[in-house]
Chains A and B, each alone.
Chain A
Amino acid sequence: GESVGLHLPTLSVQEGDNSIINCAYSNSASDYFIWYKQESGKGPQFIIDIRSNMDKRQGQRVTVLLNKTVKHLSLQIAATQPGDSAVYFCAENGNSGGGADGLTFGKGTHLIIQP
């Protein structure tokens, strides 16, 4: 079946450096993508989202890039801080404008910030 997956299970970066977390999706009908951050013992926390009619969206210290040609999206975190240490999930929702459908999640990437 179609699924959303991540390339790397663990990413270690130096504090202050930029981080890039990647995600591949296989459902060509996907039109809405979300990045979540999950800290130990907590539920997933929304970071940023992007629709398929965009290829880039920026938030505070985070940027999401979408490449529909190769069905790939990435999350860039600028100037990583210790508080950025967490597992990051990409998720997709094939229903345009729909929080009315469930999300399909990737496996997650564990971001580790080295002091």
Chain B
Amino acid sequence: DAGVIQSPRHEVTEMGQEVTLRCKPISGHNSLFWYRQTMMRGLELLIYFNNNVPIDDSGMPEDRFSAKMPNASFSTLKIQPSEPRDSAVYFCASTRSGGDTQYFGPGTRLTVL
């Protein structure tokens, strides 16, 4: 199994630009999670999906952030416009429906200048 796949691994952009992060969950997993990791705040849940449906987006910091899951094998997290304080590592994780263990991808390190 390839595990959770994220792209790009690194992204450097300028303030005001649109950023799109991508995630492919483990095949057969029905739940997908987006987390953000910073030194100050640690790992925080942003949003998660069950069966492609967003369940809880209360962790999304602002309207500049949006996430979609058009099918069971793909999700995007978009930031528009990006700001320097969005700089962080963004992780995607997935698990089986009703399962407990969340498996994390390698993360995307985002730097907004």
Pick from A15-23, A57-65, A74-82, A103-111 the stretch touching chain B. Answer: A103-111
How many B residues have CB within 8 A of the partner chain?
A: 28
| Per-position 1/0 for A76-91, Cβ under 8 A of B | 0000000000000101
| Per-position 1/0 for B72-96, Cβ under 8 A of A | 0000000000000000000101011
Given contacts A103-B45, A105-B42, contact A43 B104 (CB under 8 A): yes
Interface size class of A (residues with CB under 8 A): 20 to 34
A41 to B10, CA, bound (A): 11
Minimal Cβ-Cβ distance residue in B for A107? B42
State whether the Cβ of B1 lies closer than 8 Å to any Cβ in chain A: no
Query: What is the interface of chain B, defined by CB distance below 8 A to chain A?
Result: 4, 31, 33, 35, 42-45, 48, 50, 55-56, 59, 91, 93, 95-107
Query: What is the interface of chain A, defined by CB distance below 8 A to chain B?
Result: 32, 34, 36, 41-46, 49, 89, 91, 93, 97-108
Beyond A43-B107, A99-B101, A100-B98, list 9 extra A-B contacts (CB 8 Å). A34-B102, A43-B93, A91-B43, A99-B96, A99-B97, A102-B56, A103-B33, A103-B43, A108-B42
